[in-house]
């Protein structure tokens, strides 16, 4: 009796496991500790920011350790079944996955962030403190080189979406090539901008507190804060692209499982959109 009861119970458990395995609606928990480590690191870092530098450094170290651990785990878990089919991608809202919705919400905060930076710079320009003029196009900034950099960013947007289109068709080889091309173009943008910053600061004399040719000293401040913040975002995008490219080379994306490529493309195209306005406002107006 006891044996048959055990067998029956075992059969029920086996059936339940089979249902879990085959039901695409079931959410599989990965159980990774790394997001928790990242959150703890961020909390320590924020407290350290207020009360103690060593605590801040410790928090940053814990944060980075968590991030590296999480990325390493993800890099080794290629094409998991949990993300294997379209129906396994969770979505609380119709037709938009949770992860894509989260990226759009993040981009909304970025829209507000950059708009605040640009709006503040415009206000300072129109307020015209010190009664000194702003730089005109080409007066201090190198417009042709930056136009070339803008073209490079446009080209990187094209290669990024072509990478996405490639994996949507299941063409792994083409996706890898386009991702690598996007990475190279992204690095080129950052290098050219770094060279421009160096020349402006050390050769032209455009600093945080002064500007050449009798220009308004706020010109340098607003220039560096706007373009520097954007450059930091591009640099973050380059790291995201580097990770995505490495994962692509390891076979981490398939025709059915490539949402990460689309999300990185969303972010990358967003920094392109921001640059379109920054180039116009900072360099051409």
Partner 1 sequence: MTPAKTPTADEAPARSFWYAYVFLIAALALALQLYVAVLSPLAYADRVLVLVGLATVMAALVVAYDMHLKYEPRWILLIPFGSLALVFVLVAALLASSGSAPPP
Interface ranges with partner 1 (CB under 8 A): 25, 27, 86-87, 89-98, 100-101, 104-105, 107-109, 111-112, 115-116, 119-120, 122-123, 126-131, 137-138, 143, 147, 150-151, 154-155, 157-158, 160-162, 164-165, 168-169, 259, 265-266, 269-270, 272-273, 276-277, 279-281, 283-285
Q: Is-contact 101 93, C-beta < 8 A? A: yes
Three-class SS of 162-183: HHHHHHHCCCHHHHHHHHHHHH
What minimum distance in Å lies between the beta carbon of 86 and partner 1?
4
- CB-based contacts of 130, cutoff 8 Å, min separation 6: 216, 217, 218
Smaller CB separation from partner 1, 48 or 84: 84
Furthest C-alpha separation in the chain: 98
Q: Is-contact 82 23, C-beta < 8 A? A: no
Tokens of 53: 């530098």
Q: Is-contact 197 223, C-beta < 8 A? A: no
Smaller CB separation from partner 1, 55 or 143: 143
Q: Give residue for tokens 């962030």.
A: 113
What minimum distance in Å lies between the beta carbon of 192 and partner 1?
15
The distance from CA 59 to its chain's CA centroid, rounded to whole angstroms, is: 21
What minimum distance in Å lies between the beta carbon of 285 and partner 1?
5
What minimum distance in Å lies between the beta carbon of 127 and partner 1?
5
Smaller CB separation from partner 1, 92 or 173: 92
Smaller CB separation from partner 1, 52 or 87: 87
Helix (H), strand (E) at residue 157: helix 143-168
Smaller CB separation from partner 1, 247 or 258: 258
What minimum distance in Å lies between the beta carbon of 6 and partner 1?
34
Q: Is-contact 264 164, C-beta < 8 A? A: no
What minimum distance in Å lies between the beta carbon of 106 and partner 1?
10
Smaller CB separation from partner 1, 21 or 169: 169
């Amino acid at each position: 009796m006891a044996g048959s009861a055990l067998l029956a119970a075992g059969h029920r458990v086996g059936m339940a496991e089979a249902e879990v395995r085959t039901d695409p609606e079931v959410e599989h928990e990965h159980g990774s500790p790394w997001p928790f480590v990242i959150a703890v690191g961020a909390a320590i870092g924020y407290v350290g920011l207020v009360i103690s530098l060593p605590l801040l450094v410790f928090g940053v170290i814990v944060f980075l350790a968590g991030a590296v651990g999480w990325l390493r785990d993800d890099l080794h878990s290629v094409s998991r079944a949990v993300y294997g089919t379209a129906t396994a991608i969770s979505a609380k809202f119709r037709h938009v996955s949770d992860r894509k919705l989260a990226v759009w919400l993040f981009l909304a905060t970025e829209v507000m962030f950059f708009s605040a930076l640009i709006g503040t710079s415009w206000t300072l320009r129109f307020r015209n403190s010190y009664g000194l003029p702003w730089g005109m196009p080409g007066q201090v900034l190198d417009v042709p080189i930056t136009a070339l950099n803008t073209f490079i960013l446009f080209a990187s947007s094209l290669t990024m979406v072509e990478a996405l289109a490639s994996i949507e068709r299941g063409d792994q080889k083409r996706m890898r090539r386009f991702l690598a091309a996007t990475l190279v173009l992204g690095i080129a943008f950052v290098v050219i901008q770094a060279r421009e910053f160096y020349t402006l600061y050390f050769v032209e004399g455009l600093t945080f507190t002064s500007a050449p040719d009798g220009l308004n000293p706020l010109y340098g401040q607003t220039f560096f804060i706007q373009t520097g913040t954007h450059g930091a975002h591009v640099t973050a995008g380059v790291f995201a692209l580097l990770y995505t490219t490495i994962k692509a080379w390891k076979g981490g994306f398939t025709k059915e499982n490539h949402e990460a490529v689309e999300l990185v493309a969303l972010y990358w195209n967003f920094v392109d959109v921001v640059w379109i306005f920054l180039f116009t406002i900072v360099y051409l107006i």
